[in-house]
Amino acid sequence: MGDTYLNLVNSGVTAKIAKQLGLPQPAPLRRYRPGSPLLGGPALVVGQGTDADAVAALLSTRWDVEVHRHATPELRYAAVVLVLTQVSHPDELSAPVLAAAGVLRSLSRGGRVVTMSREATADDAPAVAAARQGVDGLLRSLAKELRGGSTGNGIVLAGDVAADAPSVVGALRFFLSTRSAFVDGQLLTVSSGAGTLPETWERPLEGRVAVVTGAARGIGESIADTLARDGATVVAVDMPSAGEQLTRVANRVRGTALQLDVTADDAGARILEHALARHGRLDIVVHNAGITRDKLLANMSPDKWDSVLAVNIAAQLRINEALLTSGDFTDAPRIVSLASTSGIAGNRGQTNYAASKGGVIGMVRATAPLLEAFGGTANAVAPGFIETEMTARIPAVTRQVARRLNSLQQGGQPVDVAEAVAFLASPAAGGVVGRVLRVCGQNMVGQ
Amino acid sequence: MAASRSTAKSAETSAATSANPPTSPRALVLGGNRIPFARAGGKYAHASNQDMLTAALDGLVARYGLQGERIGEVAAGAVLKHSRDFNLTREVVLGSALSPETPAYDLQQACATGLETVVSLSNKIRLGQIESGVAGGVDTTSDAPIAVSEGLRRALLDLSRAKSVGQKLAAAAKIRPKDLAPATPRTSEPRTGLSMGEHQALTTAQWGITREAQDEVAFASHQRLAAAWDAGFFDDLVTPYRGQSVDGNLRADTSLEKLAKLKPTFGLTLDAPPTMTAGNSTPLTDGASTVLLGNDAWADEHGLTPLAVVVDAEAGAVDFVHGVDGLLMAPAFAVPRLLARNGLTLADFDYVEIHEAFAATVLTTLAAWESEEFGKERLGLAGAFGTVDRDRLNVHGSSLAAGHPFAATGGRIVATISKELHARKAAEGRPVRALVSVCAAGGLGLTAILEAA
């Protein structure tokens, strides 16, 4: 699905005209390719204390990145990491933040700014909570100021989670890498030290068996491709009527195709039976299958309301229950469910869809604790405007506007959602539980 | 998992088991895949045999995770086949997701082609020659090969051999305007000139089969096939193709009244009143099917649940040119021989699948088996061969409803009934058997016994 406007403002004469007119100038985003280096240039790590030292050491010794602790003027940095975990008063934000500010003008295209801070709670001293919560506002604003496809995201450490906890390391790598190309202005909370670092960051899902529903096309197809690229064996699930496309996906990722209506009563049992018989285990379930039946609530038919709720949330609840009670989904299992910005901010004409997607957010929050005992997690990914066959059917003008309503001024690609799913499904993300990660280019609506 | 199975490893296990097999391995049906059958000129009008068979095979590969796998052998065929498709099955394998090192061969036995591929690969598995196999068949009447007339063909061959201008002119001069009409493939018998329908009409009249009985068979076929689709029975047997997701010939809303209104199409010139209509005869159909076969070790290694065992098979043929038997009556003779060899009677079968070339084909076969006279005089038995309980006959419908892409029918029947056998055994925990019977042009017939694995 192409974005003609994006191409025009990035080439030749039309680029000049757009600049003179002051039109939005979205930058082409770089996407992840296996084998490419984590960063295309040096990184600046600012902040005082042991956590900042640990992050600097991680980047330089383990990830082979050239790390600076003090900014070299005019040098083109690929990333800035602000380690603010040890601030105890808003006054202490000044030095690190202004140090970072000095290099923002020369940040590479597609640069990365990542904050690392601690969660503000009601138990904190007021000044500590003010400093910590202040990072939230700082990051969201900074992300809106970045240009050239650069993004700003934050990692929030809950309780006494260490700065070198697997999920903090995993999230830092995800936010620094091109895997998070369309994730912007987001703060991801790490709740615990659970999770394990992969042997190789190229194939973190090696040996894991993943089920992807709605895998025949669009975002689901991209999730299947991405999980397989990261090493997983994929069971591609879709409606029997989508079997021809499903076959293509399953054969491409060298997985298996399972033609199944996820709303069937025995869907969970059939998924589990297939995964165990063919692949010997089941570790990851990605609930991607979803439908829209848009109508203003005043005009809503029972069929439109019920079918959306049945596919988008009731089926997920039933499948999860079957898996959780089976005793065969216990080796650090991962549930990743597709929510939507509509479920967070609401969308006119989508009461049924937003109810189902809001439901997904509640479901993962309440399901995660049930999985914690065996190192499992449940999380959601909320896509914003993604270039798919579905959004290609939106009327042209509405579509152009919808695309620009985010900090990156463009729609995301299915692979952007898939990368976020793959991160949450990875062993390193074991400390991220019951959260929602938005893949929306920092959409203007909602948080 | 698929990635971890190397070709080298398969080669080792193959050598180890076939060197000196202690007991003959079982030939197992492990699954199947077909594309929905479409009426001629429908959604597959522009799909070739190779396109359709590749789609069916790729769907099988996707369902069972066989990407890059070196299968022991793939055997398939088509009844209406262009001469350029001399290596159809091998070409299909090369275009599929299977390993290009998978051998293949073409096979052709008229409408018994599909079942014969199952039988011949099963025999190789039982001999230990191969550990796995894919049987299949395909046919298109929409994309049928068209040949030139005999006159034009000879003239063109002479022309290609001609050296001088004079010889070339002489060869070209032999072409007559009537030679330019294309020779379309026919389903008529070369020795009698009668179409298959006209042949069956003779047999139908010979056995006194009524219009009502034929319409009832057709009605039951549609009802049962529709019920199986509704129940999701075909979710793991069929993969949609080119927008066709259900068998195109299926008429779930047909009724005995609607069938009774159709005008007869065959046997119009016979003395007996004509009874065969478009409703109780199979239409021209496009489609393809595949069946995954293997021995126990291979099934186990691939995490596949055996559905059925291919127990035995018997081919037959009748002298329909000079004798008294109808063109499609060979199974009436083959089945009694097959059952005698295995010490079984019709009562020992939980399922009987008789390919519905025409409703009357099923009924004349059953009538022959129920006839004292036929049993004594033609089969050499003490009396009638036996009866088939209609509740056990074509339980999920057959060709009248699904359609009949000639070589694809055998694979459809074997995969469908194997799944049913497995489910029945799982539910009841006792041995369950099925008899499969397919009639074919040339007075041929092929029959087989399957047992739940």
| Domains of chain A, residue spans | 40-190, 209-439
Decide if pLDDT at B11 tops 50.
Answer: no
Decide if pLDDT at B235 tops 50.
Answer: yes
* Closest approach of B231 to chain A, Cα-based (Å): 11
- Residue scoring higher pLDDT (B123 or A20): B123
Q: Which residue of B has its CA nearest to A278?
A: B303
- Supply the pLDDT for residue B12: 43
Mean per-residue pLDDT, A57-61 = 96
Chain A residues closer than 8 Å to B97 by CB: 251
- Supply the pLDDT for residue B74: 98
Chain B residues closer than 8 Å to A258 by CB: 63
Count A/B contacts: CB-CB distance under 8 Å.
Answer: 78
Of the candidate CATH numbers 3.30.565.10, 2.30.22.10, 3.40.50.720, 1.20.120.420, the domain formed by A40-190 belongs to: 3.40.50.720
C-alpha A23/C-alpha B108 separation (Å) is 68
* Closest approach of A340 to chain B, Cα-based (Å): 30
Among A5, A32, A77, A353, the active-site one is: A353
* Closest approach of A31 to chain B, Cα-based (Å): 26
- Supply the pLDDT for residue A447: 61
Condensed to tens digits (0 to 9), the pLDDT of residues A393-403 reads: 888 888 888 88
Chain A residues closer than 8 Å to B3 by CB: 254
- Record: contact B58-A251, CB cut-off 8 A: yes
- Supply the pLDDT for residue B187: 66
- Record: contact B240-A264, CB cut-off 8 A: no
Q: Indicate the range of A322-326, A406-410, B130-134 predicted with least confidence.
A: A406-410
- Of B2, B302, B304, which is closest to A254 when you measure between CB atoms? B2
Residue from A119, A198, A200, A131 nearest A160 by CA: A119
Q: Which of B44, B63, B305 to mutate to test the interface with A (most CBs of A within 10 A)?
A: B63
Chain B residues closer than 8 Å to A240 by CB: 232, 234-235, 238, 240, 245
Q: What is the mean pLDDT of chain B?
A: 92
Query: Burial letters for A313-351: b for 16+ Cβ neighbours within 10 Å, e otherwise?
Result: bbbbebbbebbbeeeebbebbbbbbbbbbbbbbebeebb
Which strands form A79-83's sheet, in the order they lie side by side?
Answer: A67-68, A43-46, A79-83, A112-118, A151-157, A187-190
- Record: contact A247-B68, CB cut-off 8 A: no
Q: Is the dihedral of CA B337, B338, B341, B343 positive or negative?
A: negative
* Closest approach of B236 to chain A, Cα-based (Å): 7
Q: Which of A256, A260, A276 to mutate to test the interface with B (most CBs of B within 10 A)?
A: A256
C-alpha B134/C-alpha B63 separation (Å) is 13
C-alpha A409/C-alpha A403 separation (Å) is 6
- Supply the pLDDT for residue B184: 64
C-alpha A326/C-alpha A278 separation (Å) is 17
C-alpha A199/C-alpha A206 separation (Å) is 9
Mean per-residue pLDDT, B233-258 = 97
The H or E element containing residue B140 is: none
- Record: contact A246-B235, CB cut-off 8 A: no
DSSP state of B238: B
- Record: contact B232-A264, CB cut-off 8 A: yes
Residue B57's pLDDT band (boundaries 50, 70, 90)? Answer: very high
- Record: contact A278-B64, CB cut-off 8 A: yes
Decide if pLDDT at B143 tops 80.
Answer: no
Read off φ and ψ for residue B118, nearest 5 degrees: -65, -45
C-alpha B73/C-alpha B89 separation (Å) is 10
- Supply the pLDDT for residue B22: 61
Q: Which residue spans within A214-320 are E strands per DSSP?
A: 233-238, 256-259, 284-287
Pairing of strands A43-46, A79-83: parallel
Mean per-residue pLDDT, B173-178 = 80
What pTM was estimated for this model as a whole?
0.90
- Record: contact B65-A280, CB cut-off 8 A: no
Decide if pLDDT at B3 tops 60.
Answer: no
Q: Is the dihedral of CA A293, A299, A301, A302 positive or negative?
A: positive
Instruction: Give catalytic residues of B, as residue numbers.
Output: 111, 404, 439
C-alpha A143/C-alpha B160 separation (Å) is 76
Q: Which residue of A has its CA nearest to B231?
A: A264
Q: Which two tokens stand for residue A132?
A: 């910590």
Q: How far is CA A104 from the centre of its chain?
A: 24
Q: Output Rg (C-alpha) for chain B, integer angstroms.
A: 23
Q: Which of A278, A281, A283 to mutate to test the interface with B (most CBs of B within 10 A)?
A: A278
Same CATH topology for A40-190 and A209-439? yes
In sequence order, which residues have a C-beta less than 8 Å from that of residue B160 and are 6 or more positions away? none
Q: Which residue numbers of B have CB closer than 8 Å to A's CBs?
A: 1-3, 55, 58-59, 61-65, 67-68, 97, 232, 234-236, 238-242, 245, 302-305
Chain A residues closer than 8 Å to B59 by CB: 243-244, 247, 257
Mean per-residue pLDDT, B354-370 = 98
- The answer to whether B120 and B78 are in contact (CB under 8 A) is no
- Supply the pLDDT for residue B144: 73
Architecture of domain A209-439: 3-Layer(aba) Sandwich (3.40)
Number of CB atoms found within 10 A of residue B46's CB: 10
Q: CA A55, A60, A65 angle in degrees (round to 5)?
A: 110
- Record: contact A251-B61, CB cut-off 8 A: yes
Q: CA B253, B397, B57 angle in degrees (round to 5)?
A: 110
- Record: contact A247-B242, CB cut-off 8 A: no
Read off φ and ψ for residue B233, nearest 5 degrees: -60, -30
C-alpha B241/C-alpha B244 separation (Å) is 5
- Supply the pLDDT for residue B45: 93
C-alpha A96/C-alpha A56 separation (Å) is 14
- Residue scoring higher pLDDT (B201 or A3): B201
Decide if pLDDT at A293 tops 60.
Answer: yes
- Of B3, B62, B232, which is closest to A251 when you measure between CB atoms? B62
Chain A residues closer than 8 Å to B232 by CB: 240, 261, 264
- The answer to whether A114 and A163 are in contact (CB under 8 A) is no
- The answer to whether B294 and B304 are in contact (CB under 8 A) is yes
Q: Which of B1, B53, B61 to mutate to test the interface with A (most CBs of A within 10 A)?
A: B1
- Record: contact A247-B304, CB cut-off 8 A: no
Decide if pLDDT at B277 tops 90.
Answer: yes
Q: Which of A234, A251, A252, A262 to mutate to test the interface with B (most CBs of B within 10 A)?
A: A251
- The answer to whether B44 and B243 are in contact (CB under 8 A) is no
- The answer to whether B411 and B57 are in contact (CB under 8 A) is no
- The answer to whether A274 and A235 are in contact (CB under 8 A) is yes
Residue B157's pLDDT band (boundaries 50, 70, 90)? Answer: confident
- Rounded percentage of chain A residues whose pLDDT exceeds 70: 99
Q: DSSP string covering A404-443, please?
A: HSBTT-SPBPHHHHHHHHHHHHSGGGGG--S-EEEESSSB
Chain A residues closer than 8 Å to B305 by CB: 277
Residue B204's pLDDT band (boundaries 50, 70, 90)? Answer: very high
Mean per-residue pLDDT, B265-284 = 94
What is the amino acid identity at position B360?
A: A
Chain A residues closer than 8 Å to B68 by CB: 254
* Closest approach of A231 to chain B, Cα-based (Å): 10
C-alpha B415/C-alpha B418 separation (Å) is 5
Question: ipTM more than 0.90?
Answer: no
Mean per-residue pLDDT, A96-115 = 95
Q: CA A59, A60, A65 angle in degrees (round to 5)?
A: 80
C-alpha B358/C-alpha A73 separation (Å) is 88
Residue from A229, A169, A225 nearest A193 by CA: A169
Helices (H), A63-125: 94-101
Condensed to tens digits (0 to 9), the pLDDT of residues B309-319 reads: 999 999 999 99
